[in-house]
């Protein structure tokens, strides 16, 4: 562990703390290298959108049960659970056409985004100064 700050002597301060911990019979670990967070990686919008459309194409699949309310909120969660357990047949029947439609939207988006990626690559190959451009999207799915 390290203490960081321009206005303190981190080593000296930590040394004092270490002594007191030892006096209390507590073990003090060796120093480890400082862990620094880097920037979060870019999430490619087109692959994310395709993944999200795939994930949510079936409207008969329930979302995770959740409430932000205390008290009555818990009773509402229970009521939702009971509804899902007992009425899934009706939910499937009601949303059958929506399910088909969502599938078409997903497929149409997949075809269009593939075409956009292909065209971008062509444009990139034609442009003289690729350094000036925004980085090309990486074809990978976001970690879930």
Partner 1 sequence: MVVHQLVPTFVRGDATGQAAVNLKWLLRRLGVHSELYAADVSPDLHALVRPATHLRPRPEDLVLYHHGIASWLSGEWMHLGCRKGIVFHNVTPARLAAGTPLEEALVSGRAQLAAMAPHADVAIGVSELNALELREAGYRDVGVVPNVVEPERFGPSWADERMARRLAPNGGATVVSVGRVVPSKRVEDLLSLHAELLRLDPRARLVLVGGFDAGSRYYRGLRRQARRLDGVEWLGRVSHPELVAAYRAADVSVSMSEHEGFGVPLVEAMAAEVPVLAYAAAAVPQTLGGAGIAFDEKRFAALAELVRDVAGDGRLRGKVLRGQARRLRELSPEVAQAALAEALRPLLPARRARSTRRAPRVAFVVQRHGEVTGGAELLARMVATRLAKDWRITVVTTCSKDHLSWENDFPEGESRDGPLRVLRFPTIRGRDLRRFNALSRGVLGRKNDRVSEEHWVAEQGPLSPALLRHLSDAREYDGYVAFTYLYTTTAWGLPLIADRAILVPTAHDEPPLDLEIYRDVLRLPRALFCSTPEELALIDRRFPGHAPAHVVGAGVERHPARPDRFRKKHGLERPYLMYVGRVEKGKGVGELLEHHAALVRRYHDAPELVLAGAASMRAGGERVHALGRISEQDKHDGLAGALAAVVPSRYESLSLLALEAFAQGTPVLANGASDVLAGQVRRSGAGRTYGGAESFAQGVREVGEARAAMSRRAVAYARGHRWEKVVDAYREQMDRIVSEARR
Cα dihedral 88, 89, 92, 93 in deg (nearest 10) = -150
Shortest Å, Cβ 93 to partner 1: 27
Of 33-41, 78-86, 93-101, 111-119, which segment contacts partner 1 by CB under 8 A? 33-41
Is 81 near partner 1 (CB under 8 A)?
Answer: no
Is 63 near partner 1 (CB under 8 A)?
Answer: yes
* Count of residues of this chain found to bind partner 1 when the rule CB under 8 A is applied: 52
Q: How many C-beta neighbours within 10 Å does residue 110 have?
A: 15
Cα dihedral 106, 109, 115, 121 in deg (nearest 10) = -100
DSSP 72-138: HHHHHHHHHHHHHHHHHHHHHHHTHHHHHHHHHHHHHHHHHHHHHHHHHHHHHHH-S-GGGSPPPPP
Is 142 near partner 1 (CB under 8 A)?
Answer: yes
Cβ atoms of residues 138 and 41 within 8 Å:
no
Is 128 near partner 1 (CB under 8 A)?
Answer: no
Among 11, 15, 20, 108, binds partner 1 (CB under 8 A): 20
Q: Which residues bind partner 1 (CB under 8 A)?
A: 1-8, 10, 13-14, 16-18, 20-21, 24, 26, 28-29, 32, 34-35, 37, 39-45, 48-49, 52, 55, 63-64, 66-71, 73-74, 77, 134-135, 137, 142-144
């Amino acid at each position: 562990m390290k203490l960081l700050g321009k206005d303190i002597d981190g080593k000296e301060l930590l040394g004092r703390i270490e002594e007191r911990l030892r006096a209390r019979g507590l073990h003090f670990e060796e120093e480890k290298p400082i862990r620094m967070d880097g920037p979060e990686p870019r999430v490619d919008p087109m692959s994310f959108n395709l993944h999200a459309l795939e994930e949510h194409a079936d409207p008969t699949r329930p979302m995770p049960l959740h409430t932000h309310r205390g008290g009555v909120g818990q009773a509402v969660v229970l009521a939702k659970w009971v509804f899902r357990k007992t009425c899934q047949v009706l939910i499937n029947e009601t949303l059958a056409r929506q399910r088909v439609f969502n599938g078409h939207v997903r497929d149409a988006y997949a075809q269009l985004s593939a075409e956009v990626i292909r065209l971008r690559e062509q444009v990139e190959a034609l442009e003289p100064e690729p350094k000036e451009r925004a980085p090309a999207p990486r074809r990978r799915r976001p970690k879930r």
